[in-house]
Structure 1
């Protein structure tokens, strides 16, 4: 019988197809072997635990990254504030002048001119003392009025002051 010779392009094409099929078969076998190995040597709970651990590690890594970012931001803010403090300390404050001010002037400065309040305590205290003394000396007010009546009384009052 007569055989037809295959063209080189046809033969190359078939060869690449066979290689692809072989590759796929080998890959499938590797996956099956891996699964069989895990099944034989790794208990299901252990494998699940590894999976969970892996997920937890990923989550913790994310949180650590976020925390580091926050720390860096806070450190920068602290540095900025330190610079501001140094800046403020650099500005010299003018020395305050001592100003003598009466109590009334102080009240006016604190409360504004609306509130008129007298703070002259000493004068008020003296006045109270005077009044108390006079009452003790005079005794009966009617007697005092009689003494001051007429020219003699007025003269006495003028002389006593």
Structure 2
């Protein structure tokens, strides 16, 4: 006589899927919290109260310049990753050597 399992296979599968869904949702929340912590640490809120129009314009120019630099670096990294073989490694080495100078 064969023993009947305490829980059916379909019920077990449903429970496993529900548990996986809960873990995935928790992982998403954890990543979002980590993102907020990282941004709060790396990019503190700007204090713009009391700045004149000219100072605000200078601040905007400065921020746009920083954004341009980051975009260029991101674009360079994406291009180097897209290249393969010796050419990609040479380009990555040249980029690292150029930023170190």
Q: TM-score, normalised by structure 1?
A: 0.26
Q: Which has the larger radius of gyration?
A: 1
